[in-house]
Amino acid sequence: MDKAEVETRVKKVIATVLEIDADEIKPESNFVFDLGADSQQSIELVAGFEEEFEIEMDEAKALAVQNVADAVNFIAEVVNAA
């Protein structure tokens, strides 16, 4: 799966969980500071990514991801390693 597809699907999950327009989500957007995610929503994002991509992520590593570009890279690695 290429990174463009991963990014599109990551943005879809973020838009759904945070109830924002996908157009507002930029690669450099920080989940907390730019997109307003709280700790509960951060956990929901991890669960959403796992469901969307049918993967299991290390929760501690996943929660350490701070912005959209890092999430795309992290998920692409997990997906392509599977």
Tally DSSP H helices, then E strands, for the chain: 4, 0
Fill in the amino acid letter for 60.
A
The first and second tokens of residue 56, run together, are: 């299991």
Domains and CATH numbers, the chain: 3-81 (1.10.1200.10)
* pLDDT of res. 69: 97
In b/e form, how buried is each residue of 60-77, taking b as 16+ CB within 10 angstroms? eebeebebbbebbbbbbe
pLDDT digits (tens, 9 = 90+) for 3-51: 999 999 999 999 999 999 999 999 999 999 999 999 999 999 999 999 9
Q: Give the whole-angstrom CA distance, residue 80 versus residue 53.
A: 11
What is the predicted pLDDT for the residue at 82? 74
Is the pLDDT at 61 greater than 80, yes or no? yes
Q: pTM for the complete prediction?
A: 0.93
Would you name the residues annotated as active-site residues? 38
